[in-house]
Amino acid sequence: MTRIDDTFARLRAEGKKAFVAYIMAGDPDMAGSLELMKGLPGAGVDIIELGIPFTDPMADGPTIQAAGQRALEAGMTLSKVLQMVQEFRSGDATTPVVLMGYYNPIYSHGVERFIREAKAAGVDGMIVVDLPPEEDEELCLPAQAAGLNFIRLATPTTDAKRLPKVLQNTSGFVYYVSITGITGSATPQAGDLAPAVAAIKAGTDLPVVIGFGINTPETAKLMAGVADGCVVGSSIVKSVGEKKPLGEILAQVAALSGGAHSA
């Protein structure tokens, strides 16, 4: 049982859906993003997705691309991302932290070293968007052997033939991408997603959370209503980019989490 497993079990017992928030590590700088990260659980965030900045983020929309660029320009590295998690863990031993990013920084860091350091820092899982199931031996299987969840994305183009392969070595939860395209690019429709979520649940006992395109409490409620939770990223990251005060951003997060939790 990981912190992710424990969190979903607790939420089920409480009759609640999960609210997952994404922020970019190091945006606008390490200190600022760490302060925001520390404030997320108090704003109702159940699981934190922490972005690893990368120079070529193919699945990210303009908002998150810009955040990654700001973080890189501020000197953010994978080692500093792990340091952020370690500092967060010194005051929070329960909120799950999932790293989200691309394989290149992990490969450059060294897979064995990354897994060892991530586990020691208090990371609970990872989403590596450019590692397909055919490459599970690269990172997925070693990570899971070390007790880290490896969370896989399913998309509207994941057909019935492909889905079992996607689910095969997934753990923690399944992240369903609600739209075809990049982050922050469109608004999903709950009625369109229910059959896709049902198809995933027919193939796994894992929770399913919906992400991409969720930017209001109302949309968060609708998306969480057809799944086990929802993910919000771009709208939070946009507020960071606009240099809104921390209290204002956390109030925005609290409103979004309230929508998800009321589903």
Q: Is 35 noted as a catalytic residue in this protein?
A: no
The 3-state DSSP composition of the chain as helix, strand, coil percent (nearest 5) reads 50, 15, 40
Residue 63 · residue 13 · CB < 8 Å: no
Q: Which of 203, 121, 140, 151 is nearest to 20 (CA)?
A: 151
Q: What φ, ψ does residue 32 adopt, rounded to 5°?
A: -65, -40
- Non-local (6+) Cβ contacts of 30 within 8 A are 74, 75, 76, 80, 83, 84
Looking at the DSSP assignment, which residues form a beta bridge with residue 24? Answer: 51
Say how far apart CA 105 and CA 107 lie, in whole Å: 6
Number of neighbouring beta carbons within 10 Å of residue 3: 20
Number of neighbouring beta carbons within 10 Å of residue 91: 9
**Options 5, 27, 46, 60, the catalytic residue:** 60
Say how far apart CA 54 and CA 189 lie, in whole Å: 30
**Options 49, 117, 124, 136, the catalytic residue:** 49
Q: Is 49 noted as a catalytic residue in this protein?
A: yes
Please, where are the H alpha helices in 29-158? 30-39, 62-73, 78-89, 103-109, 111-121, 140-145
Q: Active-site residue numbers?
A: 49, 60
